[in-house]
């Protein structure tokens, strides 16, 4: 299945799940909690306020393992000039954020971090349900964001 087919399929509309595709076009679904949605919204609000770019929610990115959907993302003005709102993005925005669900294994999270970085992201954030955040770039895990952003104070609510 191709991403355009997923978007056009009426039976997949309004599902309470995040939908992604693996490299073979198989649909993957992950249930999201209300806490997950709240954290996603708070991270988006922070990213969308940053100068020089725009925030996105549910950002679809073509990766080496199919289409993955970052819970939130930030792209620079230069990114949007090059890519606009192509769906899915053929290159990841500079920051991709995954809000970790209880169903996500550590192996799955590390795999997604690698996929977003391989797709062009400069930084990947993993937000835990308790509001903790882990930051990754091409050199591995970092203690903080190289963009000087810290969503943790917002996420404790």
**CA dist 32 → 2, 24, 35, 75 (Å):** 23, 24, 8, 24
**83-87 contacts: CB < 8 A, separation 24 or more?**
87/3, 87/4, 87/7, 87/60
The C-alpha angle 17, 119, 11, rounded to 5 degrees, equals 25
Does the pLDDT at position 24 exceed 80? Answer: no
Domain boundaries, the chain: 33-155
Residue 105, pLDDT score: 87
pLDDT band at 79; cut points 50, 70, 90 = very high
| Element (DSSP H or E) covering residue 99 | strand 95-99
This prediction's pTM? 0.84
Q: Give me the CATH code for the 33-155 domain, please.
A: 3.90.1570.10
Q: Tokens 């509001």 sit at which residue?
A: 131
Higher-confidence residue: 7 or 119?
Answer: 119
């Amino acid at each position: 299945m191709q991403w355009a087919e997923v978007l056009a399929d009426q039976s997949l509309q309004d599902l309470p799940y995040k939908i992604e595709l693996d490299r073979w076009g198989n649909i993957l679904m992950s249930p999201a909690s209300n806490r997950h949605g709240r954290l996603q919204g708070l991270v988006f609000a922070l990213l969308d306020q940053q100068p020089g770019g725009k925030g996105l929610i549910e950002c679809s990115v073509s990766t080496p393992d199919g289409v993955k959907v970052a819970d939130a993302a930030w792209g620079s003005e230069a990114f949007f000039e090059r890519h606009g709102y192509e769906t899915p993005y053929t290159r990841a925005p500079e920051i991709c954020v995954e809000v970790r669900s209880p169903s996500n294994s550590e192996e799955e999270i590390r795999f997604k971090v690698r996929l977003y970085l391989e797709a062009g992201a400069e930084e990947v954030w993993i937000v835990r349900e308790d509001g903790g955040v882990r930051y990754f770039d091409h050199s591995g895990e970092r203690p903080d964001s190289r963009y000087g952003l810290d969503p943790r104070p917002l996420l404790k609510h």
